[in-house]
Amino acid sequence: MQDEIKAALLLWIPLAIAFLGIAMQFRRQHSLQNLGKGCLILGGSIYLASFLTVPESPSAASSALIVAILPALLLIFVGLYIATFSGDIPVRRFNPKLRPVGLLLFISGFALLETMNWSDEPWLPSLLWEGETNKYWLIFRPTFLLGMSSVLLCGSYVIKHMGENRNDASRNMFILGIFSFGFLFLGLYTDNAYTTTSQFSTSVWLATSDLFGILAGLGLSIIVFTLAIWQYERKRPGLDNLIPPSNEQLELAAEVIRSNIGGEENE
């Protein structure tokens, strides 16, 4: 009982606070958004520390995994951020010379994530939990690689057909998609530092089931609420059948437009 209370206080309640913080980001008031950011940082930090504070809880293994992969994820996203915002865009934030550095950081992050899986060198973040492979790593890696290959291959096709002169971008995304799919295949036929081929085959199968379950659950909930909204929207008169706005309504609309128009006078 004591352990359950400890887990609730140091893992589940902070997690709920972090979710509340995310939900607050959708509110319009800035004060609530700021409060939400505070909740997210506080709740998220306590949750991430739970593998130290409540190691007896099986769910704490998830925080151990997130902390272990954090350096690789940081390298990936910092690298991509630098590479994107040093390109030829109006909101350029970095010198174009930093672009190769960004790409190098991205490749290093991806390489670190894969090296962690294929080698158990002591200087690498550990993927072990209570002497065994962290079970959440067996969920994260196949889902990540499968999700990345699916989205990249799909994105490669869409980008080629939805824009002009996008062949290079499409080709690079296709290569990266095939690359991540190749890592999945490699795992199916080669043992690595933490998993056997049999374990990995099972975890890939479970990741596929997981992704289809998520898509089905998300799709069904969207359909349900679309039906509820459609029930009200279909009763509304069409735009042609609406009565003209009154002077008072026109003044209100003009006031709203005035308060939202900005920019220079001479534009």
Site for other proteins in 11-70 (CB under 8 A): 12, 15, 23, 58-59, 62, 65-66
Please identify, using beta-carbon distances, which residue of 135 and 266 lies nearer to other proteins: 135
99 binds other proteins (CB under 8 A): yes
Q: Which residues contact 115 (CB under 8 A, 6 or more apart)?
A: 121, 124
- Cα separations (Å) of 196 from 137, 146, 200? 13, 18, 6
Per the document, the length of the chain is: 267
94 binds other proteins (CB under 8 A): no
Instruction: Give the integer Cα–Cα distance in Å for 59 and 47.
Output: 10
Compute the least distance from the CB of residue 45 to other proteins, in Å.
15
Compute the least distance from the CB of residue 126 to other proteins, in Å.
17
Residue 129 sits at φ, ψ, to 5 deg, of -140, 120
The three-state secondary structure class of 181 is helix
Compute the least distance from the CB of residue 261 to other proteins, in Å.
22
Site mask for other proteins (CB under 8 A), range 187-216, x = bound: -x--------xx--xx-xxxxxxxxxxx-x
119 binds other proteins (CB under 8 A): no
Instruction: Give the integer Cα–Cα distance in Å for 97 and 94.
Output: 8
Compute the least distance from the CB of residue 203 to other proteins, in Å.
8
252 binds other proteins (CB under 8 A): no
225 binds other proteins (CB under 8 A): yes
Instruction: Give the integer Cα–Cα distance in Å for 65 and 198.
Output: 22
Compute the least distance from the CB of residue 256 to other proteins, in Å.
14
179 binds other proteins (CB under 8 A): no
Nearest CA among 28, 7, 32, 6 for reference residue 20: 32
